[in-house]
């Protein structure tokens, strides 16, 4: 998967360039990364487009079924086929991509976790550490 590799590249660039220059240059990281994993299927694309605008949205595939015209099982299969990962994993990667720039700018983790739909900062930190192997603070300090 490209996310950990891309995240390592971004981390190196944050260290080299500083926060302000990072944001100006890599503010589009989220859009580029999400375009990479997005589907060409209209139903999956509909879910992706909404989540790109509302990453805090915690709706399940059952909730997405009627608005996009597919059952939860169909959406699960399409996400796996079209993106190479399950819906939950894709949403987690989206939220991780959304978190990189604000973290580099020094945004507080509790505010960031809340804006990304996590129940607590601890839940966000646990996801971050499980995915990238380090806590957000250590990740940016390296």
Question: Domains of the chain, with CATH numbers?
Answer: 2-141 (1.10.10.60)
Tokens representing 66 are: 């009627």
- Terminus-to-terminus CA distance in the chain, angstroms? 22
Provide the sign of the torsion angle of the four alpha carbons 99, 100, 104, 105, taken in this order. Answer: negative
Provide the sign of the torsion angle of the four alpha carbons 97, 55, 119, 67, taken in this order. Answer: negative
pLDDT (tens place) for every residue of the chain, 142 residues total: 445 555 555 455 444 444 444 344 334 444 444 444 556 788 888 888 888 888 999 999 999 988 888 999 999 999 888 888 899 998 998 899 889 889 988 899 999 999 999 999 999 999 999 988 999 988 888 6
> pTM for the complete prediction?
0.71
Phi, psi of 5 (to 5 degrees): -65, -45
38 — alpha (psi -120 to 50), left (phi > 0) or beta? Answer: beta
Question: Taking Cα atoms as reference points, which of 3, 4, 7 lies closest to residue 140?
Answer: 7
Phi, psi of 41 (to 5 degrees): -75, 130
Q: Are 9 and 104 in contact (CB under 8 A)?
A: no
Q: What is the pLDDT of residue 5?
A: 55
Q: Are 114 and 54 in contact (CB under 8 A)?
A: no
């Amino acid at each position: 998967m490209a996310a950990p590799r891309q995240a390592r590249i971004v981390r190196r660039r944050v260290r080299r360039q500083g926060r302000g220059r990072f944001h100006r240059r890599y503010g589009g990281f989220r859009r580029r990364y999400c375009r990479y994993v997005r589907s060409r299927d209209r139903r999956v694309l509909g879910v992706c487009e909404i989540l790109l605008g509302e990453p805090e949205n915690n709706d399940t595939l059952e909730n997405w079924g009627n608005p996009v015209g597919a059952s939860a099982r169909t959406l699960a299969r399409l996400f796996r086929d079209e993106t190479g990962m399950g819906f939950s994993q894709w949403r987690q990667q989206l939220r991780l991509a959304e978190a990189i720039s604000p973290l580099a700018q020094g945004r507080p983790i509790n505010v960031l976790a809340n804006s990304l739909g996590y129940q607590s900062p601890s839940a966000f930190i646990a996801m971050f550490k499980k995915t990238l192997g380090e806590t957000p603070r250590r990740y940016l300090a390296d």
